[in-house]
Structure 1
């Protein structure tokens, strides 16, 4: 089922849940909360390390509602979306997004990445994530322009009757998004760094990574439009591309064209800035893997040279905003046109430090962040219960739990972190889980009651607060002062 079809269905379903359990957001004893996590016998995958962490957090944090939410949300990917097996003696893991029975390269990476630090304590968890890397490589080899795939490589897409593109068997949806190829690099790189395991970096990985670089270069569109085009018979303008399926033109300048956003909505202008920043970081990580694991200096140089080319082009895209100063736009076309906004889907402008694509102390990023978290961003919405970034994908006046979690994860201000925790705690609509989007004045109205990425990201945020700011997990959430800007530091390199 297409994601848009959940807008009305899940909102109505959520209302039924909330009416039955309207008091949960005010309870403080953990035993008073209902059991909403899927029963043990029905869970898809069990990690001893994840269960041990859940037990530890539940025992040690004072805010029992957040502990309950962590118990439900952090393992949700493992409980409900993972299909792990061995193929020819090697791990293979297919990961659905939740309520849609397909595997997105983006979502599957985001869903399992928070578990990586636990792999050293859990060999089975490590093997499961190795299986995700192997499955992603297979998907990229099928079609590097596709964003979502079926487990059955012979299955034909439900979109085959409406989509005018080169739709191959095994592909669920073929929307070209830069981030679809960045995320598998991110997962493989951090898997290697956390475990030291190079088992998944085989010939399939090498073939897939060569296709990634080839596809990025094609979509710089220096020598014509490239091989990709896409149109769909649909009433949603954001589900199709104009001008013969190639989208609105961009003036070649070194940036990579992305015809769709991580929301799976069409871009307005082809140079999607957050995704190009993500590509720079991912290509730098790929170059390091080619050098150290692949022992291929030529491939490493090709990836690093492309990263530098895109990075140089990104230095030319900043704009001077009359209120916020120099900021990054969301999209450009190389001809001078810009789109000033942000979308809660990741990569976003807000999420750039989370992806290690910019330093959190970067002055332009901080200006951009102030813009994104203001009503000058047309997709930032305020209500009586919460505020945050939404998305054209879910319409006006609906904000995303992912956006609130990401705001907390990228913040250097303890007061802001506390505010994000409180907004997340108070907007689960009695379900015990995070959702896609919700009405900031009436969280009872929400979309997607089963969205594993949103759940796991919330768990990652709580875990970070547990390690770094445990006082924020007391009950009630304490009043804290803002962190002085002078303490906003970073020790990363971009590429």
Structure 2
């Protein structure tokens, strides 16, 4: 089922029995529980897809040592959600193979699957079963890229025909669920493979399939620089959703060739307005640098390493021409540009985002331009930053106006250097799960019971990663009673869209 179809689901339908059972336990939209009466919402042991002893030990450690029992309960539910509900692990031809669905959609996104399992990587050294499972994700991603490097989501069955076959005008291949070209779809598998190698020292998945897939990654990036022509990719969809279609015959609005990579879609799976998506290009710079190191040290191919490194440098140099002097915030990064002078100022909660660039190691957290940009995207000058009476945060055109994303709140905490801000993010997440015990795609910042997607594993696992980081580095922020968060009411006047 397509993600759009979940936008019309009410929170009452999404939360099901939990909301009806605990509907009286809400105060101004916040879930309120007696700390001794948290309901059991994690899937029963016998129905869990994959068990990690290290993950279970970490859960037990946090439950025993975190003062705020609601946060410990949320961690217990959210951090293992990917393993509990989305992982299909098997051995194929003697090698691990792991298919990872997003949650309520039975398909594997290259982005989501990486984001869902990356937080488990530090546990692999003491958990070989977990290490093998993640090796299987890398191998499955390589298979997917080889099927079609322009696709963003795939079926487990390589012969399955997409549900979008009749509506999408593009070169749709069997096994592909959706063929939306997004730069980050090829960056995330590099990120996973690189960090897997660095954490474990294991080079088993870097075989001929990996080499073939990575060769296609660089080839595709170069094609989408569109230096001499538009390249082989185009996409159109017969739909009433404007953000699901690509204009100008499926090639997007024109860009001036300058070394940047065109991305027809954002990580939200929404079409870009201007195809030079800045945070995704920065992500590509980092990913190509990592790929070059892997080609050199694991693949033993200096030509491939030099090719990746040269492309990374070319994109980076081109990016230096695209910052904006904002009258209030100073020099900032735009979200999208076209090379002709047109600029889209905004940010989207989906990662890669401008906010998340340090998390992806695409810039330093102390970079002045990033810090200026951060102040901008976390303000009401960002047309997709919303404030309510309960919470505030970045949303997305994907879910419409006045819906903020827990992913954005978790990412704000993960990239913050301010303990007060971290505490505020923790408190917003603690009080907006709508009694379900899980994170969602988005919610109304004045009424968290109005949310989209009750089963969204990426959001759950990222929340767990945030709480784990706080446990290691700022354990005092997880104490009870929780630190109250002050959320100012939304301003009456606000521009919702800025394109210059």
| Matched residue, 2:432 | 427
For residue 478 of structure 1, report the CA deviation from its aligned partner: 4.2
| Matched residue, 1:183 | 188
For residue 431 of structure 1, report the CA deviation from its aligned partner: 0.1
* Candidates 167, 171, 175, aligned match of 1:170: 175
For residue 10 of structure 1, report the CA deviation from its aligned partner: 4.7
For residue 15 of structure 1, report the CA deviation from its aligned partner: 5.9
- Determine if contact 1:14/1:445 at 8 Å carries over to the other structure: no
Task: List aligned pairs for 1:103-252, cutoff 5 A.
Answer: 103-252=108-257
| Matched residue, 2:460 | 455
d(CA) in 2 for partners of 1:37 and 1:230? 40
d(CA) in 1 for partners of 2:355 and 2:78? 22
* Candidates 9, 24, 27, aligned match of 2:33: 27
What secondary structure, in the 3-state scheme, does the structure 1 residue paired with 2:8 have? helix
d(CA) in 2 for partners of 1:220 and 1:479? 48
Q: Does 1:437 align with 2:465?
A: no
Task: List aligned pairs for 1:38-117, cutoff 5 A.
Answer: 38-117=43-122
| Matched residue, 1:3 | 3
| Matched residue, 1:18 | 19
Provide Cα deviations, 1:130-175, integer angstroms capped at 9, x if missing partner: 0000000000000000000000000000000000000000000000
For residue 12 of structure 1, report the CA deviation from its aligned partner: 3.6
- Determine if contact 2:12/2:20 at 8 Å carries over to the other structure: no
| Matched residue, 1:302 | 307
For residue 13 of structure 1, report the CA deviation from its aligned partner: 1.2
Q: CA RMSD in A?
A: 1.1
Provide Cα deviations, 1:94-131, integer angstroms capped at 9, x if missing partner: 00000000000000000000000000110000000000
d(CA) in 2 for partners of 1:185 and 1:15? 35
d(CA) in 2 for partners of 1:51 and 1:370? 38
| Matched residue, 2:488 | none
| Matched residue, 1:487 | none
d(CA) in 1 for partners of 2:479 and 2:459? 23
d(CA) in 1 for partners of 2:399 and 2:388? 16
- Determine if contact 1:273/1:328 at 8 Å carries over to the other structure: yes
| Matched residue, 2:489 | none
| Matched residue, 1:263 | 268
Query: Normalised by the size of structure 1, how large is the TM-score?
Result: 0.96
Gaps of 5+ in 2: 486-500
d(CA) in 2 for partners of 1:71 and 1:385? 24
For residue 9 of structure 1, report the CA deviation from its aligned partner: 1.9
What secondary structure, in the 3-state scheme, does the structure 2 residue paired with 1:243 have? helix
| Matched residue, 2:287 | 282
d(CA) in 2 for partners of 1:28 and 1:256? 52
* Candidates 416, 420, 431, aligned match of 2:421: 416
d(CA) in 2 for partners of 1:223 and 1:46? 50
d(CA) in 2 for partners of 1:328 and 1:28? 45
Query: Normalised by the size of structure 2, how large is the TM-score?
Result: 0.95
- Determine if contact 1:28/1:65 at 8 Å carries over to the other structure: no
d(CA) in 2 for partners of 1:15 and 1:157? 29
Provide Cα deviations, 1:240-273, integer angstroms capped at 9, x if missing partner: 1011100001000110000000000000001000
